[in-house]
Amino acid sequence: MSRTGNQLARLESEEVARGVRLLLARPLLTARQDHDGFDVIRRRREPITKWFDYYCGWRVVVEPRAGYARLFKTTSRPDRTRPAFDRRRYILLCLVCAELLTTPTTTLDDLTARLPDFDSARRSDRNALNDVLSFLEEHGVVELNEQVHADPTLITRLLAAPVPPSTVDTVEALTTETRYDTAHRSLWQRHSVMRRLIDDPVVYKDDLSVTQLAFLSSPAGRKVVQTGITLAGCTLEERKEGYVVVDTDAIATDTRFPDDDNNAKVAALLLLDRLARGPATTEDLVEESRELLTRFRTWAKAYQSDGGADRLAADGIELLEAFGLARTENGTVHRLPAAARYAVEELND
């Protein structure tokens, strides 16, 4: 291959890797949100679509004229540690989407007037609606100015379930992928392992099934995994306890830890120091949080009130569990092996 050919091949592989990671971070990506990122996905949509289909069994739809790309991530084990909303806001999200499908352009007053059981005089209702509209705006589904402008097509693209919700009765049935019932076992192994590796911050061997571990341990399975992760521009780190996929460019990362962008993440990092000395009850960590709030009275003002220590500890623990750094069992919080990355090392003279 000529030098020019090598350069073009390298450019394509770099752009495919970037496109894969962009969609992992933002499964619904519009040209209005990220023009350059969407342009990469548009130009490399064929190899990007094939990557997700082969390695993860996920479908990608790219609509150049409509200006959006949608990765439909499906899983048999939904992540309950990071819900977008509480129950009230999820219900409101469904109601708002239903109204906007009927009337894509409307005023805020008209929209709220059509929402059942919504009282604009109640602050809690106004806050909930603001959160829902902000969520839809963040995902490029609506534009908010003097009016609410919605894209009905993008509304229908929000749900990523493998089956229509109207055809099932339970959440478990909603996430069931029947194609694996008759497919060869290796297909499920490949897809389920890759989904775990690229979607979870940490994958512990104890959390994998016997067949998944067998796939990762086999030369053929390991080659598939290594190739797929490399094509995505990431690296696979293996330790005795498990695996971590690292994106050094942080393109595929939707949230970071450690990070000082909010008080709960700072508290979570400090709580890890306490857990390094051994398991702790939730009450122990509440007391640890209370001491932090007392020592730094101008810090974490949202928690400097009655019950603030309880909320700060709860938010910190939730973050540690979401990042695979801790686990709560019977009211006791245990530090997990991946937390060793954040251990404080003592320097000797």
Q: What is the pLDDT of residues 233-249, one digit of tens each?
A: 999 999 999 999 999 99
Do 58 and 109 share a domain, yes or no?
no
pLDDT (mean) for 323-332: 94
Do 95 and 151 share a domain, yes or no?
yes
Do 67 and 91 share a domain, yes or no?
no
Q: Which of 118, 139, 156 is the C-terminal boundary of a domain?
A: 156
Do 268 and 334 share a domain, yes or no?
yes
Q: Which of 246, 275, 291 is the C-terminal boundary of a domain?
A: 246
Residue 336 belongs to some domain of the structure:
yes
Residue 332 belongs to some domain of the structure:
yes
Do 59 and 124 share a domain, yes or no?
no
Do 233 and 300 share a domain, yes or no?
no
Alpha carbon 218 to its chain centroid, in Å, reads: 29
Do 288 and 328 share a domain, yes or no?
yes
Give the burial string for 114-123 (b: 16+ CB within 10 Å, else e). Answer: ebeebeeeee
pLDDT for position 344: 60
Do 49 and 18 share a domain, yes or no?
yes
The three-state secondary structure class of 292 is: helix
State how many domains the chain has: 4
Q: What is the pLDDT of residues 155-197, one digit of tens each?
A: 999 988 888 777 888 777 888 888 888 888 899 999 999 999 9
Q: Residue 331 maps to which CATH number?
A: 1.10.10.10
Q: What is the pLDDT of residues 12-46, one digit of tens each?
A: 999 999 999 999 999 999 999 999 999 999 999 99
Do 64 and 100 share a domain, yes or no?
no
Confidence of residue 68 (pLDDT cuts 50, 70, 90): very high
Least confident of 31-45, 70-84, 123-137, 310-324: 70-84
Helix 308-322 with 282-295: angle, nearest 10 deg: 120
pLDDT for position 170: 79
pLDDT (mean) for 110-135: 94
Residue 162 belongs to some domain of the structure:
no
pLDDT for position 349: 42
**Residue length, the chain?**
349
Residue 292 belongs to some domain of the structure:
yes
Residue 171 belongs to some domain of the structure:
no
Which residues constitute the domain of residue 292?
263-342
Q: Check whether 84 has a pLDDT greater than 90.
A: no
CB-based contact 312:291 (threshold 8 Å): no
Do 275 and 329 share a domain, yes or no?
yes
Share of the chain above pLDDT 90, in %: 77
Taking the C-alpha atoms of residue 317 and residue 284, their distance in angstroms, rounded to an integer, is 12
pLDDT for position 348: 46
pLDDT for position 267: 93
Do 91 and 68 share a domain, yes or no?
no
pLDDT for position 245: 95
Q: Check whether 80 has a pLDDT greater than 90.
A: no
Going by C-beta distance under 8 Å and a sequence separation of 6 or more, which residues neighbour residue 339?
272, 275, 276, 320, 325, 326
Q: What distance separates the 2 farthest-apart alpha carbons in the chain? A: 71
Beta bridge partners of 326: 335
Residue 168 belongs to some domain of the structure:
no
CB-based contact 225:193 (threshold 8 Å): yes
Residue 280 belongs to some domain of the structure:
yes
Q: Which of 104, 137, 156 is the C-terminal boundary of a domain?
A: 156
More confident residue, 136 or 343: 136
pLDDT for position 347: 39
Taking the C-alpha atoms of residue 106 and residue 131, their distance in angstroms, rounded to an integer, is 18
Give 158-161's long-range contacts (Cβ < 8 A, gap of 24+): 158/28, 158/97, 160/27, 160/72, 160/73, 160/74, 161/74
Mean pLDDT of the chain: 91
Name the residue with tokens 């709030």: 293
Taking the C-alpha atoms of residue 172 and residue 157, their distance in angstroms, rounded to an integer, is 20
Residue 170 belongs to some domain of the structure:
no
Do 93 and 152 share a domain, yes or no?
yes
pLDDT for position 1: 58
